[in-house]
Every structure is written in C-alpha cells, then in structure tokens.
C-alpha cells in the first residue's frame, strides 16, 4: 500500500537540514531539500503523534531562491543540504535557525545573534574528509537516507589537494575498513587514515608522497610517512596527529581566533582556562596575553599535540581527562580572576562540568559551539547561574550544509 500524498507549503528551514511545513491536521512535517515558500507534493516517510517526516515527490511552486546544485549527487548524498540555496541565503538561514534554537530550547527572549560570518571559500574548504567504502571497495558517503554507502564520482567540499588524490583512491574490497579519511596540511601535505575493524594492517599500493596511518581501537600505526601533519593558522604551525581533532575549515579557524581576540578582555593578571582545548588552537594565540593558561582535554593524541604546540610557553599547564572530572577538582585551587574558552563536542557541556564552571565563577565565558540545540540548553543554565549572554556570532565553517558553528560571549 502506497503512503498517502499531501500538498503543503514549506514555512522555514530547521536545524538538521530540513524545511518545515504543516499537514492538514496541524502536525509539523519535516522535508529534506525543500525551501521556504515552496508548494510541494510530498509522501510521508515517518509518522509520529506530534510530527511527521516526508520527501518531495513534486515541486508545484518553486522558491525564487532555488538554484541548480553544483554536485550531481546532491539529494542522494547525505553530505550537503543547501546546494539548492544561494550562499547569502544560507548565511541568513543559519542565523535564523540559531536564533530559533536559543528562543525555543533556551527560552531566551531576543537572543543577541549577529550576522553569520561567511567562509572565504564556499567550495573546496574542508581539510579533512571521512569516506566510507562500498562492499566492492569504492569510496563514498552515507546516503541521504542514512542506510548505505553511496559511491561518489565528484565532491566539491574537500580542499583541492584532497580532491585530486581522491580520484586515484581505489580499493579491491572493503578490506575490513570502517572508514577512510584524507587530511591536508601546509604545502598540500596529505595523510591517508585507515580505520579498521581488525588489528591486521591493510596492504596498499599507493604511488604518491603521502603519509598513511592505520588506526585500530584508537591506536595509530604509521604505514608510510609521518604520524602527523602541520596545519598553519596565521603563520603559526600546529602539529596535528592522525586521531586528533582540528577545525576542518582553516580560514574560518583564523576568523574564530580573530573574533576571540576582539571579544576577550585579556589581562596578565588573569588565568585563562581552555576547556576541551584540543591541540591548542586557541591557547597558542592567548598564552602570551594571560598570566597562566590551563588546558583541559580528554583525547590522548590531542594532549600530546597540545604539549608540542605549546612547548615554547612556560605559563601553560595541561590536564588530561574528562572536563567533568578535572574541572571540579581544579575549582578550589583557582584564586586569580578567570576567563574560560570552551569548545565542547556536539553533546555540549556536561552538567558536572557546568556546575564546576559556575563554582569557579569566571568573569568571561567564550562558548564555541558546533550544535545550536546543546548551546541553547547550556546558555539557559548559564543565564540561570547569573550570566548575561552578550552576543552570539555564527561562523559558517560548513558551507552547503546545515551545520552551524558559533561563539557566544557570557559575562557576569
């Protein structure tokens, strides 16, 4: 039996890359690849008591904003969501979505959301791309339905060096590989990372000057070349190992550093805590401007990289462990005025870490977020704890996708 068809008008874009409309019974329905103002015929793919999901069968009245996607795989591939929307409209949509999340989830009236900072590169901006393999060894991405790997012939998001090498990347079969990643660094250096389901090192024949790393259960083994890349931000070198996190859009990482330099009232009488500090992107730019910098990070490889990247400074301490364990133990020892930069994963700030943060009572908190919904939840907690949300600035690290990075400034 075929699912029932509906004709609806789409109202707005929502976080997650879907457009929202209303069914005749009043339920919200979420539709991928639709645009606000469009009249579409849809069929439902999922029904819940309060909402539904569907897919477009026919666009009856297209939006005047709709443009032709650059990639042949758009709507089949799960990687991009907004290729059908002009870039300036993507920027507006992301600010609107961020504002909506802060209002709806955080219950924050008139949140001070600024205009989205655009990416200098709308295409070919990613310095790190993760691929999956089909059963016959072709590289691809998870499809838009999220249920299988779609082999790809083109992708317009990786940096040029990655894209050029991607075309030459062939495997005979899946070879027990969970994921295959390519990272690019300074001078177009490349690293191929093979994440495996078994300890056995994959055999590869690659005629290229490229580092190859095999990772099994978080243990990297160098097959060829080096175990790390150098990524440059504002002329500073960052040592980044295969398992370590680094922002995927290097020019936008620079814009975020610039923004923090503008927003933080730095002082040599103040301590900076860099929570979820990674390889030290922010610490390296602020270590000379504070009395002390304290980095807190749980990933071992990132901690090793942080130690290398901050080696020139004598006023930097690093604590390896979970924020919710380190921060409460650290809180009673802190006496100087405190500023905090925090850049948590998508899940946001752990409740115990947030309680400890409120106990530390920093003068300024700069919250770097990659998920507006968890930011909204945490912002509400911080405001309840006595903080004022001064500004929220979206940064478009991920053009053509729904993902939204942002920096929020909270003060006492």
Looking at residue 168, which CATH number applies to its domain?
Answer: 2.40.50.1070
Tell me: pLDDT of 339 over 70. Answer: yes
| Burial 309-338, CB ≥16 within 10 A → b, else e | bbeeeeebebbbeebbbbbbebbeebeeeb
Residues in the chain, how many?
412
Classify residue 76: in a domain, yes or no.
Answer: no
Domain-located, residue 81:
no
Of 178, 195, 230, the position where a domain reaches its end is: 230
Q: In this structure, are 141 and 116 located in the same domain?
A: no
Q: Of all residues in the chain, what percent carry a pLDDT higher than 90?
A: 88
Select from 224, 229, 219 the least CA-distant residue to 305: 229
Q: Which region, left, alpha or beta, applies to residue 361 given φ > 0 means left and ψ of -120 to 50 means alpha?
A: left
Tens digits of residue pLDDT in 139-171: 999 999 999 999 999 999 999 999 999 888 878
Q: Please, which pLDDT band fits residue 209 given cuts at 50, 70 and 90?
A: confident
Residue 219, pLDDT score: 85
> Using CA atoms, how far apart are residues 67 and 362, in angstroms rounded to an integer?
46
Q: What is the pLDDT of residues 233-289, one digit of tens each?
A: 999 999 999 999 999 999 999 999 999 999 999 999 999 999 999 999 999 999 999
pLDDT for 337 = 94
Are 50 and 111 in a shared domain? no
CATH code, domain with 26:
2.40.50.140
31-80 pLDDT, tens digit per residue, is 999 999 999 999 999 999 999 999 999 999 999 999 999 999 999 999 99
- Domain CATH number, residue 370: 3.40.50.150
CA angle 231, 234, 236 (to 5 degrees): 55
Cα four-point dihedral sign 367, 372, 373, 379: positive
Torsion of CA 71, 73, 78, 82, to 10 degrees: 30
Residue 177 and residue 306 in one domain: no
- Is a pLDDT exceeding 90 seen at residue 20? yes
* Element at 162 (helix H, strand E): helix 160-166
Does residue 281 sit in the same domain as residue 372?
A: yes
CB 91 within 8 A of CB 65: no
Which one, of 261, 304, 313, lies nearest residue 284 by Cα?
313
The answer on 393 and 265 residing in a single domain is yes
Range of the domain at 206: 128-230
Q: Are residues 301 and 183 in the same domain?
A: no
């Amino acid at each position: 039996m075929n699912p029932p068809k509906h004709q609806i008008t789409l109202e707005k874009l929502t976080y997650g890359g879907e457009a929202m409309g209303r069914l005749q019974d009043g339920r919200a329905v979420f539709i991928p690849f639709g645009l606000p103002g469009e009249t579409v015929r849809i069929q439902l793919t999922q029904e819940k008591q309060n909402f539904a999901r569907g897919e477009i069968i026919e666009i009856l009245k297209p939006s005047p904003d709709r443009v032709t996607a650059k990639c042949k795989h758009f709507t089949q591939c799960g990687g991009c969501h907004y290729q059908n929307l002009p870039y300036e409209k993507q920027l507006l949509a992301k600010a609107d979505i961020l504002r909506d999340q802060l209002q709806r989830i955080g219950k924050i009236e008139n949140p001070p959301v600024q205009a989205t900072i655009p990416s200098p590169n709308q295409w070919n901006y990613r310095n790190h791309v993760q691929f999956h393999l089909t059963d016959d060894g072709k590289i691809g991405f998870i499809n838009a339905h999220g249920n299988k790997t779609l082999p790809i012939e083109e992708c317009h998001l990786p940096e040029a060096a990655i894209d050029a090498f991607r075309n030459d990347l062939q495997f005979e079969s899946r070879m027990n590989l969970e994921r295959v990643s390519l990272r690019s660094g300074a001078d177009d250096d490349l690293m191929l990372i093979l994440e495996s389901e078994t300890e056995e090192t994959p055999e590869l024949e690659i005629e290229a000057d490229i580092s190859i790393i095999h990772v099994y259960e978080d243990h990297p083994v160098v097959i060829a070349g080096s175990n790390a890349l150098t990524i440059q931000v504002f002329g500073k070198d960052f040592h980044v190992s295969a398992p370590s996190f680094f922002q995927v859009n290097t020019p936008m990482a620079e814009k975020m550093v610039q923004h923090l330099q503008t927003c933080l009232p730095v002082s040599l009488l103040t301590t900076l805590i860099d929570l979820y500090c990674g390889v030290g992107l922010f610490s390296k730019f602020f270590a000379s401007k504070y009395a002390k910098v304290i980095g807190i990070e749980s990933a071992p490889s990132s901690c090793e990289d942080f130690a290398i990247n901050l080696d020139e400074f004598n006023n930097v301490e690093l604590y390896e462990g979970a924020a919710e364990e380190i921060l409460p133990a650290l809180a009673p020892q802190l006496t100087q005025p405190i500023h905090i930069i925090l850049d948590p994963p998508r899940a946001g700030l752990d409740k115990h870490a947030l309680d400890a943060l409120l106990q530390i009572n920093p003068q300024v908190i700069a919250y770097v977020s990659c998920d507006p919904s968890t930011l909204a939840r945490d912002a509400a907690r911080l405001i309840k704890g006595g903080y004022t949300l001064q500004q929220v600035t979206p940064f478009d690290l991920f053009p053509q996708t729904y993902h939204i990075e942002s920096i929020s400034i909270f003060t006492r």
